[in-house]
Amino acid sequence: MPVDARQAGKNLPRALQRQLAWRFFRGGQRSVLVSMISSVSLAGMVVAVALLVLVLSVMNGFEREFRERILGLVPHATIQLDGSSGLQQTLADVAKQPSTRRVLPYIEFKALAIRGTSAQPVLVQGTDYDRFRELAGEFIHGIGGQALAGLAPGEVILGQRLADKLGVEPGDKLRLMVMAQRQQAAQIDSSLSASVLSGQRAAVHSVALVATLHTGSELDQHIALLDLASAAQITGNELGYDGIQLQFNEVFAAPLHARRIASELPGAVQVQDWTRTYGNLYTAIQLSRQMVVLLLASIIAIAAFNVFVTLGMVVRHKRADIAILRSMGLARRRVLGVFIWQGMWVAFIGVGLGLLLGCGLALLAPAAVNSLQGLLGNALLSTEIYPIDYLPAQLRLTDLLLISAIALAMSFVASVIPAWQAARLQPAAVLNGKGR
């Protein structure tokens, strides 16, 4: 063979390698078995990538809604106070902290909401409505869906789901049954607690429902809001507050900031942050995300194994073509490159189609689930089970790049062994019918 032909084979341009790999990929469709296996491997890659994109987008959506919807409404920390320092001075001092975004006084107690024969346990919070409206005004719907300007004594706001269970709407009356003369926990001696509690009696207070709180989260199941003065009167709280609720600019630094602020307040009795009340939910979301990613990554691995099987069959099917190319001077490393590229063609097409399909499903899924819930008349996502009652989705570029990188890397590894087998074929033995 002329030297220049061998030299040309060794220096085969990469573009021609890709073109030759594409021809082998298309030519494999002439074999029914190779065509079927190739289609299965391609479909497997598309489905695996699409599912991973969809599920990660949904998990991202749940995480975002947890941070912005749930943690955006509930206090990041609460500090109980004994009243040794004035409330207004305490609010002013805490508000000056650079880490603090919002601070509200509160009273919190449990009660039973009663309407006719229906009764539901509720967590009642007395709050400064003007400050609370800055936090959650967009979720409060008064009579006729109008915004609520203020919360007067004797008026209450209920979570939407709670109001539905009781069968009440804004403008209706209901009753709150609470334990009269509620004692502050810090003032009850453990040895006297039984006698104190046994001396309590139930008191029923009539209130008017003026608005509902519809956040789409589990808060709607149990929350009731009163003005601070009414809550103090109902509970017999002479101070007029239990303590303060805080929200911070950095939600995940809340435990650190809360303890630092409490150490600087002379009347701080007890500190509690959101990791104690909602930490398990956040951990569950993160754990579910990791488990789902691991499961779907294994599906991508199976799809990559299908690429390995397909490429191995193509090598056997193209043994004569490989021998001819090798006889014409095509170097082994070029043969290796050709078949690696063939495996990567499957990966590129599969990943590309999978990303398009996954992004489309992620964008359509929330509306589709809402439509399905309306069609069936049942809530597929109930806040009694899930943290929110709708399906969120959030596409992240970093996730798309990571999914693509994982799928392409697995496909590359799966392509190396069949490509190496193709490069090791002996041309003379194959053409004589003796090669394996």
- DSSP designation for 217: B
pLDDT digits (tens, 9 = 90+) for 390-410: 889 999 999 999 999 999 999
Q: Which residue has the higher pLDDT, 122 or 21?
A: 122
59, 284 Cβ separation under 8 angstroms: no
Residue 222 amino acid letter = H
| pLDDT higher than 50, residue 186 | no
| Residue 433, phi-psi category: left (phi > 0), alpha (psi -120 to 50), beta (remainder) | left
| pLDDT higher than 60, residue 10 | no
Mean of per-residue pLDDT scores for the chain = 80
- DSSP designation for 328: T
Task: Report strand pairing: 202-213 vs 155-159.
Answer: parallel
Q: Please, is 103 exposed, middle or buried when counting C-beta atoms within 10 Å of its C-beta (0-12, 13-18, 19+)?
A: buried
pLDDT digits (tens, 9 = 90+) for 73-97: 888 999 988 876 778 888 888 888 8
Provide the Cα torsion 403, 407, 413, 417; round to 10°. 180
pLDDT digits (tens, 9 = 90+) for 323-378: 776 676 667 777 777 778 878 888 899 999 999 999 999 999 988 888 887 787 67
Winning range, highest mean pLDDT, from 177-191, 218-232, 303-317: 218-232
pLDDT digits (tens, 9 = 90+) for 133-175: 887 878 888 877 787 888 888 899 999 999 999 999 998 999 9
Using CA atoms, how far residue 408 sits from 333, 352, 413, in Å, is 20, 11, 9
Q: Residue 157 has what pLDDT?
A: 93
Full-model pTM: 0.75
* C-beta neighbour count of 368 within 10 angstroms: 12
- Taking the domains of the chain in order of start, what are their residue ranges? 3-67+282-431, 72-277
